[in-house]
A and B are shown apart, each in its own frame.
Chain A
Amino acid sequence: MVKWSDFERAAIQDIFSKIDYDVVGRAAFSRCLIVYPWTQRYFGSFGNLYNAAAITSNPKVAAHGKVIMAGLEKALKNMDDIKTTYKDLSVLHSEKLQVDPDNFNVKLFSFYCLTIVVAGQMGAAFTPEVQGAFQKFLAVVVASLRKQYY
């Protein structure tokens, strides 16, 4: 069972209450596809991902950014049992999507791209302690997504 301090709970809720899901979802997912281009492997049906401009203006990318943020919101609303909440999502990623669980995609998207985009949105309010709380939340999310592999 993951233990959240009062500070962590408040910090994480605060972040999600302040960010624009559409903006952040699209920006973070775009960055993942741009900064780690091998992740495009999983999105062959998305059309033009040829360069950064194409990716950031691609409507399927924007739509998928929203899907991901909706998934994160589920975790936010069930912070005390993300593992159970994510059981079906984990199965989806492992069996249907066959995302490489080890380093790629999930970790790259969440730890690196999403953290960086949220930092940019929140500015100085994204203090080291707030960053710590947010990255802990993402770590639990990643672990829960990996739970149903094998």
Chain B
Amino acid sequence: MTMSLSAKDKATVKAFWAKISSSGEAIGADALSRMLVVYPQTKTYFSHWKDMSPGSAPVKKHGATVMGGVAEAVAKIDDLTSGLLSLSELHAFTLRVDPANFKILSHNILVVLAIMFPTDFTPEVHVAMDKFLAAVARALSEKYR
């Protein structure tokens, strides 16, 4: 499903991001915590962590890293493929995350947004963010094969 972002989608994402970006670390930590609990098969990528429980230090740190990537994607929203090139190489060659997991993390990010921003996370914002995260996942999958 390759659906590109319209000008309206991009504007919606940027406006919403401006509201929520200061909570980036908290969003990342919570989304990652949920992914590890609700989809335990994803723990396989983090077996080197001492503690995978919700809110633990490695989870918080990594949540911040992931949302840093999302912030970068927002800034490069007009050309995600070239903008996220090195991140794609990282995921493809070094991390080798099965791209099926991108959808899982995206879902959990949306759940966290619904909890933290109940009035701002309207259906219109929801569809724009869902499309955006899908586009980010596609850009990250570029170098896989």
- The reply to whether the CB of B37 lies closer than 8 angstroms to some CB of chain A is yes
Q: Tell me the chain B residues, 80-129 only, with Cβ under 8 Å from chain A.
A: 107, 110-112, 114-115, 118, 121-124, 126-127
**Chain A residues proximal to chain B, CB less than 8 Å:** 30-31, 34-35, 52, 55-56, 111-112, 115-117, 119-120, 122-124, 126-129, 131-132, 135
Known contacts A120-B118, A123-B118; is-contact A131 B111 (Cβ 8 Å): yes
Contacts A128-B54, A132-B37 given: A119-B126 contact, CB under 8 Å? no
Contact A52:B107 (CB < 8 A) given known A116-B114, A131-B37, A132-B37: no
Report the minimum CB–CB distance from A78 to chain B (whole Å). Answer: 24
Q: Quick check: B107 and A112 within 8 Å, CB to CB?
A: yes
Q: Are A35 and B114 closer than 8 Å at their CB atoms?
A: no
A-B contact pairs, 19 of them (CB 8 A): A30-B123, A31-B123, A35-B126, A35-B130, A52-B123, A55-B123, A111-B107, A115-B107, A117-B114, A120-B118, A123-B115, A126-B111, A127-B54, A128-B30, A128-B34, A131-B34, A131-B111, A132-B37, A132-B38
Q: How far is the CB of A123 from chain B (nearest CB, A)?
A: 6
Nearest 7 CB-CB pairs, A to B?
Answer: A128-B37, A120-B114, A132-B38, A34-B123, A35-B127, A128-B34, A119-B114
Q: Does B141 contact A (CB under 8 A)?
A: no
Residues of B within 8 A of A (CB): 30, 33-34, 36-38, 54, 107, 110-112, 114-115, 118, 121-124, 126-127, 130
Residues of A within 8 A of B38 (CB): 128, 131-132, 135
CB distance from A52 to the nearest CB of B (A): 5
Complex contacts, A129 vs chain B, CB 8 Å: 37
- Cβ A120 vs Cβ B115 within 8 A: yes
Sample of 18 more A-B contacts, CB < 8 Å, known A112-B110, A129-B37: A30-B123, A34-B123, A34-B127, A35-B130, A52-B122, A56-B123, A111-B107, A115-B111, A116-B114, A117-B114, A119-B111, A119-B114, A120-B121, A124-B115, A127-B54, A131-B34, A131-B111, A132-B37
Cross-chain contact A116 with B54 (CB below 8 angstroms): no
| Bound-complex Cα distance A32 to B89 (A) | 34
